[in-house]
């Protein structure tokens, strides 16, 4: 009897607390807000969003809501926050032209934990401009041209390890990209030391963006933060060694360690002998560049949404987005808009022969927040594709490569795209 009474009291208490929570936590919908639904109390539409995302990405959820409400802007409640989703070219235009006036990064504490409070993605206004200017220094044409031989050598060495065996294209290309960036930034070549750095980076990227932000020992998030510390400590060793031994490498690190001038000086110099892979030849690979763009459009590798938080009330398409609400700016839906890309799900590189309307294709973002490594990423892809096509043949091991894994904001092929690689007989 006593146990029954205690159970009833506890049950009544839980119900009362739940009702009080609903009253306190209820988000008020201001006049002029976009159409939509906040779903269940507290959880909102989070479970529905995650379910759609696992089936076909964020675009599947967005398209379902767009058909339901008949507009390119709607409200929802995702991940414990009132959120407005905006779609289409106008959404990209807002993101690119806003500067620092009305948008800031959502989940900034998580980003600060993972990337640091002075990272490029979190700083704003003059501080952002100063950091970006420092970073963009070694990203000029002269520096990128000097990386061509290094990328060529790394491509050859990477592909040698693929010969005559089945490999995960996704996993191996991720390694290639990491080592390419280490070469550009720190002049480091693949070694047991850099492999340790890469493993820590993988833990940071996977567990940091795909877990609850609980700083409790043993949790994924805690492991991600520990991996970040090991990664930073490893890079500091390179920095200390450079300062101690004073061996200039003319890389990104050297540029940051030396006094910087306001303007870049010098004239672009030709690289290599006739017949070698040069900057001019890479820039002349127009069709290959179209293939890369089409692959970026269809794959949505990386993030498929841009997440921001409104710093003030914003009017978009006649609706008011209240201050403090999250804003999801969809990328994937715009990339497969049939009004812009005819037969959008077909792989047709030639569609990039014509100039596209503004704001419809932004694989690297835009405006003041455009990816600082965009030119290097394109250079890296061109060099690797050139080396691969001219020396190797390959075939897919599996055909179901369309299934995708979602880890936090990152998506990638579920099976890693296994391929079999064979050197072309001379």
**For 150-160, how does the pLDDT look when each residue is reduced to its tens digit (9 = 90+)?**
999 999 999 99
Place 271 in a pLDDT band, splitting at 50, 70 and 90.
very low
Question: How far is 364 from 385, CA to CA, in rounded Å?
Answer: 20
Question: How confident is the model over 26-34, as a mean pLDDT?
Answer: 78
Task: Give the model's pLDDT for residue 267.
Answer: 25
Question: CB neighbours of 369 closer than 8 A, spacing ≥ 6?
Answer: 95, 96, 121
Query: Among the listed ranges 1-15, 61-75, 402-416, which one has the minimum average pLDDT value?
Result: 1-15
Query: Among the listed ranges 96-100, 335-339, 350-354, which one has the minimum average pLDDT value?
Result: 96-100
The phi, psi pair for 403, rounded to 5°, reads -80, 135
What share of the chain in percent tops pLDDT 70?
A: 80
- Give the residue, 360 or 398, on which the prediction is more confident: 360
Task: Give the model's pLDDT for residue 162.
Answer: 94
- Helical H runs in 284-331? 286-299
Task: Give the model's pLDDT for residue 216.
Answer: 84
- The gap from C-alpha 90 to its chain's centroid, in whole angstroms, comes to 21
Place 306 in a pLDDT band, splitting at 50, 70 and 90.
confident
- Give the residue, 293 or 63, on which the prediction is more confident: 293
The structural domains of the chain, with segments of one domain joined by +, span 27-187+249-257+275-423, 188-248
For the chain, the average pLDDT equals: 79
- Give the residue, 12 or 389, on which the prediction is more confident: 389
Question: How confident is the model over 104-121, as a mean pLDDT?
Answer: 73
Question: How confident is the model over 372-379, as a mean pLDDT?
Answer: 87
Task: Give the model's pLDDT for residue 9.
Answer: 56
Task: Give the model's pLDDT for residue 170.
Answer: 86
What architecture is domain 27-187+249-257+275-423?
Answer: Orthogonal Bundle (1.10)
| pLDDT of 14 above 60 | no
Task: Give the model's pLDDT for residue 265.
Answer: 30
Question: CB neighbours of 394 closer than 8 A, spacing ≥ 6?
Answer: 388, 419, 420, 421, 422
Per-residue pLDDT reduced to its tens digit, 59-105: 788 888 888 998 889 999 987 789 999 988 888 888 888 766 788 77
Residue 91 exposed, middle or buried by CB count within 10 Å (0-12, 13-18, 19+):
buried
Task: Supply angle C-alpha 35, 37, 39, rounded to 5.
Answer: 175
| pLDDT of 268 above 60 | no
What share of the chain in percent tops pLDDT 90?
A: 20
Question: How confident is the model over 280-296, as a mean pLDDT?
Answer: 89
| pLDDT of 179 above 90 | yes
Query: Among the listed ranges 236-250, 377-391, 395-409, which one has the minimum average pLDDT value?
Result: 395-409
Q: Tell me the CA end-to-end span of the chain in Å, nearest whole number.
A: 89
| DSSP 8-state class, residue 290 | H
Strands 81-86 and 165-168: unpaired
Place 12 in a pLDDT band, splitting at 50, 70 and 90.
low
Highest mean pLDDT among 127-131, 290-294, 394-398: 290-294
Task: Give the model's pLDDT for residue 130.
Answer: 74
| pLDDT of 209 above 50 | yes
- Give the residue, 43 or 11, on which the prediction is more confident: 43
| pLDDT of 17 above 60 | no
Question: How far is 212 from 200, CA to CA, in rounded Å?
Answer: 19
| pLDDT of 37 above 80 | yes
Confidence (pTM): 0.72
Task: Give the model's pLDDT for residue 147.
Answer: 86
Task: Give the model's pLDDT for residue 274.
Answer: 43
- The gap from C-alpha 370 to its chain's centroid, in whole angstroms, comes to 12
């Amino acid at each position: 009897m006593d146990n029954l009474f205690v159970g009833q009291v506890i049950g009544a208490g839980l119900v009362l607390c739940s009702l009080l929570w609903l009253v306190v936590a209820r988000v008020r919908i201001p006049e002029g807000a976009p159409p939509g639904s906040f779903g269940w109390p507290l959880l909102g539409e989070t479970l529905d969003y995650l379910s759609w995302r696992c089936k076909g990405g964020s675009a599947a959820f967005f398209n379902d809501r767009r058909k339901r409400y008949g507009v390119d802007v709607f409200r929802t409640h995702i991940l414990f926050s009132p959120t407005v989703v905006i779609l289409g070219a106008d959404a990209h235009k807002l993101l690119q032209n806003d500067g620092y006036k009305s948008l800031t990064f959502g989940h900034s504490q998580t980003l600060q934990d993972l990337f640091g409070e002075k990272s490029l993605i979190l700083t704003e206004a003059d501080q952002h401009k100063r950091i970006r200017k420092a970073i963009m220094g070694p990203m000029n044409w002269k520096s990128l041209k000097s990386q061509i031989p290094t990328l060529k050598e790394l491509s050859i060495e990477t592909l040698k390890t693929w010969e005559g065996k089945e490999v995960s294209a996704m996993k191996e290309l991720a390694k290639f990209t990491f080592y390419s960036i280490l070469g550009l930034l720190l002049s480091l070549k693949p070694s047991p030391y850099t492999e340790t750095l890469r493993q820590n980076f993988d833990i940071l990227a996977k567990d940091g963006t795909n877990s609850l932000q609980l700083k409790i020992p043993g949790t994924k998030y805690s492991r991600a933060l520990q991996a970040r510390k090991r990664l930073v400590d490893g890079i500091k060793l390179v920095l200390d060694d450079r300062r101690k031994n004073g061996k200039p490498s003319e890389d990104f690190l050297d540029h940051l360690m030396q006094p910087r001038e306001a303007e870049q000086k010098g004239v672009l110099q030709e690289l290599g002998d006739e017949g070698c892979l040069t900057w001019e030849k890479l820039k002349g690979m127009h069709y290959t560049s179209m293939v890369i763009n089409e692959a970026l459009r269809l794959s949505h590798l990386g993030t498929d949404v841009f997440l921001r938080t409104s710093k003030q009330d914003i009017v978009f398409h006649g609706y008011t987005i209240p201050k403090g609400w999250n804003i999801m700016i969809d990328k994937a839906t715009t990339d497969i808009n049939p009004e812009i890309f005819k037969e959008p799900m077909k792989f047709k590189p030639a569609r990039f022969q014509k100039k596209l309307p503004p704001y419809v294709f932004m694989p690297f973002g835009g405006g003041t927040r455009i990816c600082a490594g965009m030119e290097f990423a394109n250079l890296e892809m061109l060099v690797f594709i050139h080396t691969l096509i001219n020396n190797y043949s390959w075939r897919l091991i599996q055909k179901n490569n369309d299934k995708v894994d979602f880890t936090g904001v990152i998506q990638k092929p579920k099976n890693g795209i296994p391929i079999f690689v064979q050197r072309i007989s001379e």
